Copies of this chain bind each other. A is one copy, B any other.
């Protein structure tokens, strides 16, 4: 077992890892930038080291400083949390060069899955469904027509150099293909000076479904059910739940099998997630990407499976046998997470750093709060705006939602604007309650 673990992160995830270490009896080292001196992760760790100024690139993103901090404190393992260096394969390699265990997948896996095109190719090769589309640039309308016919409408035409919706056209039938193709090319030319286009299957309001995985030595990969993260604002997840209201047992089986096969094919180690887009009308799903780290929303899965994923990460990295068998992983009940961010929904979700003057967490049955905030805490403007993850668990979805509603009513955060009012609106919305919300929900209903 490790002698001491350094947590190369801040905020709630640093605290989450410290909690796991404390429960395992492992000493911890917190690192912090000068602006995080008064943070809970610093107070709750056994030791702490200041690693740099507030700018992340000079502190939490600086591999050398983290390795040095581990060396001066005698830490023999580093948990990267999420964000910052969690998916940086150079950092993982540097750890291993210095005899420090990086608690995460092997650097090769991180490199492979970090390249989106390579990841898609790898998954496709082992039969994991990927979004059908052109292999590269589509030069002619005729080729586009053939491809679209093969893929099936609707399709989306995208500019290779694109972004921000420009040079992008959704085409719903063959009649509209030619004109849209030409318009997209013109738009791409004028916007990016590059008219290259490619074509992909277009999903109308898909669900974002992801599978929690854990890879262990001996090519063992375990799937811990799915999470439905369809409630997003500009690709930022806001609400996550498990199980998904639209995933049937049969579909779940297919999702788990695909995810396990995909992870096994790359010899995946540690905790990770494969994200899929699900067309809930047809039940077809498509590989989107793999996250080679623990995720913000992992507690949702912990609540419905009863397994402690962060402890498993640590124990597996230390070479301990978890004694897990596939039958051990069962989903029971329903869990939901609301991300409480310090941002102002009235002002287009602008992050709202500042001092939390009063704070009261909800409690009672079925409530879990993961937060580094406290009354008197100043949220620095340098990092993300997540101040608490509020989770509820119930015997079914309706109980979990009812609990979340009353917990949102109980929670008090003063001094900064938060996403609490928006969560209350979402949880009261008939479409969400019916389990029909897709990734388009916020734009469709929460104008």
Which chain A residues have a beta carbon within 8 Å of chain B's beta carbons? 15-16, 19-20, 22-25, 44, 299, 302, 306-308, 332-333, 358-361, 363-371, 374-375, 395, 399, 402-403, 405-406, 409-410
Contacts and interface: CB of A to CB of B under 8 A. Distances in A.
Contact of A370 (B25, B364, B375): B364
Nearest to A21: B406
In the A-B complex, the 3 residue pairs with the smallest Cβ-Cβ separation, listed nearest first, are A363-B369, A22-B406, A23-B402
Contacts of A403: 23
The A interface is mostly helix, strand or loop, or mixed, namely mixed
Contacts of A405: 22
A364 B360 contact: no
Nearest to A25: B402
Contacts of A361: 361, 363, 369
A369 to B, nearest CB: 4
* Number of identical monomers bound together in the oligomeric complex: 2
Contact of A19 (B299, B308, B369, B406): B406
A307 B233 CA distance: 35
A401 to B, nearest CB: 9
Contacts of A410: 44
B360 A375 contact: yes
Contact of A22 (B19, B366, B369, B402): B402
Given A406-B22, A410-B44, A306 B364 contact: no
A360 B368 CA distance: 14
B332 A365 contact: no
Nearest to A398: B23
19 contacts: A15-B364, A16-B364, A19-B364, A19-B406, A20-B365, A22-B402, A22-B406, A22-B409, A24-B402, A44-B410, A299-B365, A306-B332, A306-B333, A306-B395, A308-B395, A360-B375, A364-B368, A364-B370, A375-B375
Contacts of A366: 308
A359 to B, nearest CB: 8
Pick the most buried of A307, A333, A359: most chain B CB atoms within 10 A of its CB.
A359
Contact of A302 (B22, B308, B332, B365): B365
Nearest to A406: B22
Nearest to A303: B365
A375 B412 CA distance: 11
A296 B194 CA distance: 70
Contacts of A24: 402
Pick the most buried of A16, A19, A24, A364: most chain B CB atoms within 10 A of its CB.
A364
A361 B411 CA distance: 12
Given A22-B402, A406-B19, A370 B363 contact: yes
A370 to B, nearest CB: 6
B365 A365 contact: no
Contacts of A363: 361, 368-371
A360 B358 CA distance: 11
Pick the most buried of A308, A359, A365: most chain B CB atoms within 10 A of its CB.
A365
A55 B125 CA distance: 76
A368 B362 CA distance: 10
Contacts of A374: 360
Contacts of A299: 365
A212 to B, nearest CB: 15
Nearest to A400: B23
Contacts of A16: 364-365
Nearest to A20: B365
Pick the most buried of A15, A22, A23, A410: most chain B CB atoms within 10 A of its CB.
A23
